[in-house]
Amino acid sequence: MTSQTLTLADLGWSNFFMTQLDLQDLANLKPMRVSEVQRSIVRALAEDGIHNLTMPPNMTTGELAVGDWVLVNPETQRVTRYLERRSIFGRKSAGPEQRQQFIAANIDTIFIVSSCNTDFNPARLERYIALASESGAQPVIILTKSDTVENVEDYENQARAISPLADVIALNAKDPDQLGKLEPWCGKGQTIALVGSSGVGKSTLTNGLAGTSIDTGEIREDDAKGRHTTTNRALYRMTSGGWLIDTPGMREIGVQQAAEGIDAVFADIVELAMACHFNDCAHNSEPGCAVQGAITSGTLDPDRLHRWQKLQREDEINTETLAQRHARSRGKEQLYKAGRAKGKAKRGYLS
């Protein structure tokens, strides 16, 4: 956070947000940028510092994300509405509920942080890149702990092979000189968000980029997993003038409403699928399947195809409407009943 006087431009304000205000808004309301969201607390930054805000009766804190711009009644400190977002990074909420959880808003770049050890997981990185692409922000893969391995180039090559959408930077987050590699994304008015597992160095990056003193937890050597040192999302001003949103480590990265982002990550398979003989090809054993042809020729890894199909199925299920879920449940129930009836008939229970 910061206590110094800031301009709206310092906070990331632009014409994109100004055009959403009318004369009455300009006369009576004050724009602020959300810096912290908890269950019952919303804090925001304005030109004169930090404000504790209250929510209107028709809005909950769950509708806001760190980085949002809100219009506030300066007399009551109550939010009247949030402005349309330039970008919004979210995921399916944990558990069975079909709800999207907002993580960060109005971000320019998402730093997807992974370390050069057993935490490195291409399938997880694909998920993050898909969600980042869907959000409208630029994904950048940050490979931390590069000083702990001799084959850092292998990690870089694997990361670059995942998708051309993401730049790849390897560094030692504890080395201030190496943090200079991140300057192109951290300038005045720019906003980045850090996402990744616990123990990969997000808090260390935050301390280095924003001059904070967040506790950094040790990781277990056997599985490279760490404890959660960041427990909620918050907006920090970087020493370079930009803004950083640190996030807690994510155990579940459910995709929802991310079909375009998934196809962007797997653009190579999407292009192959367009050359299949049948428009509804499932890419299993159909004749004339260009995807299976690429697998046979060795130009496509079958595991990559399976990951694409898995993400597509997950996104379809998590994105379907309540009516669609009910219809799918009814369809399963009808199939189950038909199967039971058929079984009874075979055993002679039905004439």
Enclosing H/E stretch for 298: none
Can you say how many angstroms the Cα of residue 58 is from the centroid of all Cα atoms in its chain?
A: 27
Q: Residue 154: how many CB atoms within 10 A of its CB?
A: 12
* Cα–Cα dist 291/294, whole Å: 5
Percent of the chain at pLDDT exceeding 90: 65
Amino acid at 341: A
Rg (CA), the chain: 24
* Residue that wins the pLDDT comparison between 167 and 343: 167
Alpha helices for 195-257 (secondary structure H): 202-210
Classify 301 as helix, strand or coil: coil
First-residue to last-residue Cα distance in the chain: 76
Classify 169 as helix, strand or coil: strand
pLDDT category at 100 given cuts 50, 70, 90 is low
Query: What does the pLDDT look like over 235-287, one tens digit per residue?
Result: 999 999 999 998 875 555 667 778 888 999 999 999 999 999 999 999 998 99
Enclosing H/E stretch for 129: helix 122-135
Furthest C-alpha separation in the chain: 85
Q: Which of 311, 261, 254 is nearest to 100 (CA)?
A: 254
pLDDT category at 192 given cuts 50, 70, 90 is very high
Q: Residue 220's pLDDT is what? A: 42
pLDDT at 72 over 80: yes
Mean pLDDT of 181-208: 93
Percent of the chain at pLDDT exceeding 70: 80
pLDDT at 222 over 50: no
Residue 249 has, within 13 A of its CA and on its CB side, a CA count of 18
Q: Which of 144, 174, 173 is nearest to 159 (CA)?
A: 144
Mean pLDDT of 288-316: 93
Q: Which of 207, 229, 247 is nearest to 113 (CA)?
A: 247
Q: Are strands 167-170 and 138-144 parallel, antiparallel or unpaired?
A: parallel
Burial label, 64 (beta-carbon count in 10 A; 0-12, 13-18, 19+): buried
How far CA 267 is from CA of 90, 126, 162, in Å, comes to: 21, 12, 11
Which tokens is 77 given? 């400190």
pLDDT at 326 over 70: no
Q: Which of 6-15, 138-147, 332-341 is least confident?
A: 332-341
Q: Residue 219's pLDDT is what? A: 45
Which tokens is 266 given? 């797997």
**DSSP letter at 254?**
B
